[in-house]
Amino acid sequence: MSSDDDRPTGTTNTTGPETRPAVRPETRPAVRPDRATLERARTARDRAIAALSDAFAHDAMDVEEFERRVTVAHTSESPEEILALLADLPASTDAIARVPVALAPAESGSRGEEGAVQTVYAIMGGVDRRGAWTIPSRWRVVALMGGAQLDLREARFPAGVIDLEVKAVFGGVQIIVPPGLAVEVHGTAIMGGFQHLQRAPAHPDPDAPLLRVHGIAIMGGVDITTRLPGENDRAARRRQRIESRDTRRALRDERRVERALDRHRDDDR
């Protein structure tokens, strides 16, 4: 991997010479960090994700750069590496309060294999779950010639691994996650699409939620989208149109410069 991939590439609103934090998510410790290090990393992670969310909300970076930095914040176990993500952000975003993912109250009984699996069906119809609701530790979503939208931004999560199995057959499932949630996706698509998202640390914190999505899409689709709390579909589409327009403009400017350089080289011959 080149050194350019190790640094943020999106635009940020800064004053003075541009500085980019040196981020190398591949340099993770081979052994599990101790409890104190995990706690310091979690504190740094909450602070960084809150600051990145605030910077993104104020158009200090585009969505690709925001998602890249959030992924690094989740996968890194080094507090120094996580806080380096904020090095080129405006000072106001670095000072905001930490906003952790909401945890559900601890329940009696065991989880894991002995826990009951809750199932959501969308058969020739639609299911829309949003708002403040408690996520089960094990659940399944089945979309058969139908669609399901699961908005997890205001949901309450149990600590530890949350197992979500998704089956989309001639249907679609959209999962909207908050930036502060660690996510791990492993899915199979047959004549369809299953979006993969990997932003979980090598050694997950047992006290923090980790959404683990797996399943299959047959002539259907599974989409995992990161959105800020309060951002609706219209605002998200508007932001995407603006970013797409800015990208096209940047490409046109780049081609214009290349053509000018080519003409200059031809004149020198």
> Is 54 within a domain?
yes
Residue 211 domain boundaries: 112-226
Residue 89's pLDDT is 80
The answer to whether residues 39 and 129 belong to one domain is no
> Is 169 within a domain?
yes
The answer to whether residues 80 and 7 belong to one domain is yes
The answer to whether residues 123 and 220 belong to one domain is yes
> Is 184 within a domain?
yes
Count of domains forming the chain: 2
Calpha distance 56→50 (Å, rounded): 10
The answer to whether residues 78 and 123 belong to one domain is no
Q: Which residues of the chain have pLDDT under 70?
A: 1-33, 91-115, 232-251, 268-269
pLDDT digits over 240-264, tens only? 666 566 666 666 777 777 777 777 7
Helix-, strand-, coil-residue percentages of the chain, each rounded to 5: 35, 25, 40
> Is 147 within a domain?
yes
At what angle are helices 35-57 and 63-75 packed, to 10 degrees? 170
Domain boundary residue, one of 42, 71, 100: 100
> Is 222 within a domain?
yes
Query: What is the pTM assigned to this prediction?
Result: 0.60
Ranges of H-type helices in 107-232? none
Residue 197's pLDDT is 85
Domain boundary residue, one of 54, 79, 100: 100
Residue 2's pLDDT is 45
